[in-house]
């Protein structure tokens, strides 16, 4: 059998450490002077969800009781009648039984003093009926309009972005399938009063762009993220990453030794800092999606590092070598093909996301590309350099007797 080819990885350890330090120091300088482009997930702001649809039912009530409509369920429309002297009851109208707007209106009109008319008689789709979040669902003499999801709408997220082009720091994301499509709009604001004024301006811009041919831009829900909440989200994310590192260190210490565990944590911190450096250099938006990419790379990196460390532990007992760096070179050479193949095959999937998607998924895939390359590199050179340093004076006399079937260390020149 031909001898296993051994590559001298250890001679690149000093160069790799210097290279990584330059990258990380450059990233820290960039963070200090350029900052991080935090997305609206980490900034105070307004979040509004809209649907482009058309009104199909008009309902009003002239009685003295309190009548509320609940259209939050996709299975049924619920009517709650209450009040002094009223016949308190809850009426549930399943869409499976009342499958058209005309049938719903006929049933609603049976309620005393309720008037319901179908603007347009259509079948109720799987998304059910919904109302605008900007109006009260308590019936009154004023007309309350109910909408159905518009399956024929050709409006895209790019169309909504174009309608809101006059606003700065706006982010639009398409949510749901074609028959239930809605758009989530995020804008940065500093307080709730500013959010109310901004929402009014946004709604006017959407009305001007989409309120035509019977269609309307309907606000489904709106929320305001306060500065306190965004700050707690940032601190919570930091705690999450730190807790992950502590748990990984405990796991690696139990499975290996403390220096192996610390080497794996250093490799992970290296990858996270490289990704943050890249995010700061490129001014990519740092959102919860980007944070998910960092956590994904942490999992990928520790997996790759553990495979190498496990091989090092095995080679300590099976490889006859003069120095510990010889064992490291043997282990890294044995796992080289596995490291490269795993990284390349994963990159194929990530590159397809990068080239064929837009928005947050595009940024997510770009962050993953940087993290995958960094993870493969750090598992071999950064973790290896640290272990080589801590075990510089490793005593081979303390290991178990070498098996007669040892692999003789024979580095190729």
CB-based contacts of 266: which residues, under 8 Å, 6+ apart? 382, 383, 386
Determine the pLDDT at residue 221. 81
Q: Are 412 and 5 in contact (CB under 8 A)?
A: yes
Q: Which spans in 283-323 are helix H? A: 288-318
Q: Which two tokens stand for residue 369?
A: 């590309």
Q: Which string of DSSP letters, residue by residue, matches 206-236?
A: HHHHH--TT-EEEEEEEEEE-HHHHHHHHHH
Q: Of 4, 36, 10, nearest to 284 (Cα)?
A: 36
Determine the pLDDT at residue 4. 67
Length of the chain, please?
A: 413
- How far apart CA 334 and CA 336 sit, in angstroms, is 6
Q: Which two tokens stand for residue 391?
A: 């075990």
- How far apart CA 274 and CA 278 sit, in angstroms, is 6
pLDDT above 80 (res 154)? no
CA angle at 351 for the pair 28 and 377, rounded to the nearest 5° = 45
Beta-sheet strand order (sheet of 66-70): 66-70, 76-82, 89-94
Q: Which two tokens stand for residue 212?
A: 């035509």
Determine the pLDDT at residue 345. 92
- For 115, the 3-state DSSP assignment is strand
> Residue 25, CB half-sphere, CA atoms under 13 Å: how many?
6
Task: Please state at what angle helix 324-356 crosses helix 288-318, rounded to 10 degrees.
Answer: 150
Determine the pLDDT at residue 394. 63
Digit-coded pLDDT (tens) for 164-214: 888 877 778 777 766 677 888 887 766 666 767 777 888 888 888 888 877
Determine the pLDDT at residue 193. 67
Residue 323 pairs with which residues in a beta bridge?
Answer: none
Digit-coded pLDDT (tens) for 345-387: 999 999 998 888 777 788 889 999 999 999 999 988 998 888 8
Q: Which string of DSSP letters, residue by residue, matches 49-104?
A: EEEEEEEEEEEEE-SSSEEEEE---SSEEEEEEESTTS--EEEEEETTTS-BHHHH
Q: Which two tokens stand for residue 108?
A: 């609603």
Task: Please state at what angle helix 324-356 crosses helix 383-390, rounded to 10 degrees.
Answer: 160
């Amino acid at each position: 059998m031909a001898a296993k080819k051994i590559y001298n990885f250890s001679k690149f350890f000093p160069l790799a450490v210097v290279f990584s330090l330059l990258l990380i120091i450059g990233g820290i300088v960039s963070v200090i002077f350029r900052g991080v482009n935090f997305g609206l997930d980490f900034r105070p702001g307004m979040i509004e969800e809209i649907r482009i649809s058309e009104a199909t039912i008009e309902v009003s009530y002239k009685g003295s009781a309190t009548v509320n409509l609940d259209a939050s369920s996709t299975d049924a429309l619920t009517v709650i009648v209450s009040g002094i002297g009223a016949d308190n009851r809850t009426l549930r109208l399943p869409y499976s039984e009342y499958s058209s707007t005309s049938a719903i209106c006929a049933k609603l009109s049976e309620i005393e003093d309720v008037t319901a008319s179908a603007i347009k008689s259509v079948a109720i789709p799987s998304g059910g009926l919904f109302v605008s979040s900007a109006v009260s669902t308590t019936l009154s003499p004023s007309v309350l309009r109910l909408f159905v999801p518009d399956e024929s709408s050709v409006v895209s997220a790019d169309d909504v972005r174009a309608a809101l082009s006059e606003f700065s720091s706006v982010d639009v994301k398409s949510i749901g399938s074609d028959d239930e499509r809605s758009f989530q709009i995020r804008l940065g604001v500093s307080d709730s009063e500013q959010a109310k004024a901004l929402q009014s301006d946004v709604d006017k811009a959407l009305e001007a762009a989409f309120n035509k041919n019977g269609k309307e831009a309907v606000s489904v829900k709106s929320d305001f993220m306060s500065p306190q909440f965004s700050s707690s989200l940032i601190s919570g994310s930091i705690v999450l990453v730190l807790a992950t590192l502590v748990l990984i260190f405990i796991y690696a210490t139990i499975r290996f030794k403390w220096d192996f565990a610390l080497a794996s944590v250093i490799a992970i911190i290296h990858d996270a800092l490289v990704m943050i450096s890249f995010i700061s250099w490129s001014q990519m938006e740092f959102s919860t999606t980007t944070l998910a990419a960092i956590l994904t790379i942490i999992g990928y990196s520790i997996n790759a590092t553990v495979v190498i460390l496990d091989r090092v532990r095995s080679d300590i007992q099976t490889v006859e070598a003069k120095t510990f760096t010889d064992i490291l070179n043997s282990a890294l050479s044995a796992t080289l093909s596995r490291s490269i193949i795993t990284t390349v095959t994963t990159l194929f999937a990530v590159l397809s996301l990068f080239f064929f998607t837009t928005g947050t998924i595009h940024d997510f895939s770009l962050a993953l590309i940087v993290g995958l390359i960094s993870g493969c590199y750090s598992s071999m050179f950064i973790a290896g350099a640290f272990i080589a340093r801590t075990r510089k004076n490793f005593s081979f006399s303390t290991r178990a007797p070498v098996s007669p079937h040892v692999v003789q260390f024979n580095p190729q020149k």
